[in-house]
Amino acid sequence: MSLVSGAFYGGCMASLSFDRHCAEITAQTALLRSHVDGADFAAPVPTCPGWTLRELIRHIGGAHRWVEQIVRTRATSPVSEERVNDVSGAPDEDPAALCAWLTEGAEQLADTLRSAGPDAEVWTVAPGGTPVFWARRMAHETVVHRADATFATAPGSGPHSRIGRFTVADDLAVDGLDEWMSFGSLPVTLASGPGIREFMGRGRTLRFQATGTAPEAAADWLVGLGEDALTWQRPADAAGPATVTVRGPLSGLLLLVYGRLPSQGDGSGIEVLGDTRLLDAWRETTGFWLRE
């Protein structure tokens, strides 16, 4: 069983291939469309407070086009995020046209990534500097927003029903959690979440264990809180009990770290053993990049 651990190098440690990530961008977009066809685009998205379904779709399509521009132009410095952040659009926009626009953007992005290849030099928001970073990032961006669209269009909005309605392939979910852990190990992470510092340097750990997966998936993560850094490894290979252990289905763990599920209770199907204060502080800290 291979060990994946340490710092983040733009997807070099990704458990899935560059081609798989490119394919998932369009595949996940198609799945998302299957949930929103015929839906009320003015409906609120419970996991993205303040957004309607129309605004969610505009955000995803804008993100795809933003990254496509970065890769196509071989950008060497930050590119304006206006396409990502401007989700206004026209309130009476034809839903069918908006869905076609979404599909077009995903296909353009996947084509541009493949044309550039994995070794081209491009600007990235975190260490990486190649299309490998962007293919992985956009694959998981689309996966999580597919979940958001699912929750906005299916009956029942509670945490338990969310796990029941959202599924994702095990290997893709593992890779998504690996990416999250990698972002969480960046030095800038600690600067963004001062609340985690009260837990640092005392041998404390967090363990995330997926239930119902094959042993070869190695879906077991251990996060360490050192004096000056957050570290992680998979499989956990823990010698003793963790300060806090989180258990649940892979899709549930992915939703949890992305803030789509609460850290405790509410019938979410996620079991938390130990110090929930540490879990909440870790989630707040490692999720800094979602708030940027």
Map 227-254 to HEC letters.
CCCEEEEECCCCCCCCCEEEEEEHHHHH
Beta bridge partners of 234: 4
Which pLDDT score is estimated for 67?
98
Residue with tokens 């609460």: 262
Q: What is the pTM of this model?
A: 0.92
**In 19-155, beta strands by DSSP E:** none
The Cα 44–Cα 105 span in angstroms is 23
Three-class SS state of 53: helix
Which sequence spans correspond to the domains of the chain?
A: 14-157, 178-290
Sheet with 4-5, strands from edge to edge, namely 4-5, 230-234, 220-225, 205-211, 244-249, 271-274
Which pLDDT score is estimated for 10?
40
**Token code pair at residue 221:** 């993560």
Quick check: 129 and 121 in contact, CB under 8 A?
Answer: yes
Residues 6+ apart with CB under 8 A from 92: none
The Cα 101–Cα 57 span in angstroms is 9
Three-class SS state of 52: strand
Rounded (5°) CA angle 218-125-227 = 60
For residue 242, pLDDT beyond 60:
yes
**Token code pair at residue 11:** 């997807």
**Token code pair at residue 290:** 């979602």
Please, which pLDDT band fits residue 158 given cuts at 50, 70 and 90?
low
By DSSP bridging, strand 205-211 and strand 244-249 are: parallel
For the segment 234-249, the average pLDDT, to the nearest whole number, is 89
14-157: which CATH topology? Four Helix Bundle (Hemerythrin (Met), subunit A) (1.20.120)
Which pLDDT score is estimated for 14?
80
Please, which pLDDT band fits residue 7 given cuts at 50, 70 and 90?
very low
178-290: which CATH topology? Nonspecific Lipid-transfer Protein; Chain A (3.30.1050)
Which pLDDT score is estimated for 279?
95
Please, which pLDDT band fits residue 247 given cuts at 50, 70 and 90?
very high
Which pLDDT score is estimated for 48?
93
For the segment 180-190, the average pLDDT, to the nearest whole number, is 90
Cis-peptide, bond into residue 235, ω within 30° of zero: yes
